[in-house]
Structure 1
Amino acid sequence: MSTHDDLPHRLAQSYPDTPDHLHRLRTRLATAAAADGILDIAYRTVDSPVGSLLLAATDIGLVRVAYQREDHDTVLQTLADRVSPRILHAPARLDATARELQEYFTGARRTFDLPLDWRLSAGFRATVLHRLSDIGYGHTASYAAVAALAGNPKAVRAVGTACATNPLPVVVPCHRVVRSDGSMGGYLGGVDAKRALLTLEEAPGKAHT
């Protein structure tokens, strides 16, 4: 039976030094790793109007979306520590996610239809994130309103923390949470990215209560 350690060596022997051999090698390696049951997390990057996004998925679903400013290498290391070290660049496994994001950024999609792996969120933070889809496309809600939706009207600061640590930005729309006076508030992708997403959705500046 083949082992994880000898996969790269075996596959490298199958390809000559041609311009596309690296791409073909990665594809073959991802396929072989999946077949051998040693691929727990697949990842890829995609370009977007808000910069390069790292996408990562488990067998359960999309587990991470990360902005460039979060440092993709650091994010991958965190995934290795918290989920599994068996991570591989396997773009094909994230084709559906990449396609839905492209549709969203071109204005052709308003909601995402993707399986999600929520394991990086827990407790009240997870409760908050699960309620963000209640804020419809083109709308915003205040931190206080989201706290009420999550069942704890006094936990406004905790809502801010949940949004700041959202492992699935864009797909789980924490960008729709703004201050009660309508100002942007913070955002893990940066204020410019938050503004760009709200502009894309043509969300009103005033928060809904």
Structure 2
Amino acid sequence: MSLESKTYLKTPIGVLEIIGTKEGVSSIIFKDDFEGKISENVPEVLQESLKQLKEYFFEDRKEFSFKLNPKGTDFQLKVWKLLSEISYGKSISYSEQSERFGDLKAIRAIASANGKNPISVVIPCHRVIGKSGELTGYAGGIWRKKWLLEKEGIIEKQMTLF
């Protein structure tokens, strides 16, 4: 096992903490309590992931190609692998996700595994929505899920009038 490295990225929807080793990125989570200074010195093992996340948030990147190494149970890893197959600009319902998984009765366990996804944005659990289109469940907050879905063109941006 190699030494873990950590870096941070300021995005339009908050600070992301990125953790990984030479085996791959194991965690990308929003840090609402971040109060530190974001360092310019990015560990070498995280440079490509940081570059690609910047391109996603500030340019037009639609896919990620850096190495992932999420930690979870076999069940969770299978759910997260299926999440990774949902293309940019597409969404599925929780019941569709259960169908793809091969067990409609596992919908609650699958939704729970989505909520434990340790690699936000890249493993796109934000692309799973309620059957009637409602935005339900997102560990980073529904407002972030809405922002990500708007960015990807899955839902239309709502105009706010003052």
Normalized against structure 1, the TM-score is what? 0.67
Q: Which runs of 5+ in 1 are unaligned?
A: 1-36, 73-89
1:115 shift after superposition: 0.5
Aligned with 1:121 (options 72, 79, 102) = 72
Tell me which residue corresponds to 1:174.
Answer: 125
The AA in structure 2 aligned to 1:149 is R
Conserved? CA contact 2:89–2:153, under 8 Å: yes
Conserved? CA contact 2:13–2:144, under 8 Å: yes
1:169 shift after superposition: 0.8
Tell me which residue corresponds to 1:134.
Answer: 85
Tell me which residue corresponds to 1:65.
Answer: 28
Whole-angstrom distance in 2 between the partners of 1:104 and 1:190: 19
Deviation sequence 1:165-209 (CA, Å, 0-9, x none): 00001010000001101000010100000000000001148xxxx
Deviation sequence 1:15-61 (CA, Å, 0-9, x none): xxxxxxxxxxxxxxxxxxxxxx9x61000111011200000011200
Deviation sequence 1:118-162 (CA, Å, 0-9, x none): 2x1212221111011221111110011111111212111112111
Structure 1 position 146 matched with structure 2 position 109: no
1:105 shift after superposition: 1.1
> How many residues are matched?
151
Normalized against structure 2, the TM-score is what? 0.86
Aligned with 1:108 (options 37, 43, 60) = 60
Structure with greater strand share of residues: 2
Q: Which runs of 5+ in 2 are unaligned?
A: 35-40, 157-162
Whole-angstrom distance in 2 between the partners of 1:159 and 1:42: 29
Alignment RMSD (CA, Å): 2.1
Tell me which residue corresponds to 1:198.
Answer: 149
1:68 shift after superposition: 1.2
Conserved? CA contact 1:66–1:167, under 8 Å: yes
Structure with greater helix share of residues: 1
Aligned partner of residue 63 in structure 1, secondary structure: strand
Whole-angstrom distance in 1 between the partners of 2:55 and 2:24: 19
Structure 1 moving runs of 4+ over 2 Å: none
Structure 1 position 156 matched with structure 2 position 107: yes
Tell me which residue corresponds to 2:51.
Answer: 99
Whole-angstrom distance in 1 between the partners of 2:59 and 2:88: 11
Q: Percent identity among equivalent residues? A: 32
Structure 1 position 52 matched with structure 2 position 52: no
The AA in structure 1 aligned to 2:16 is L
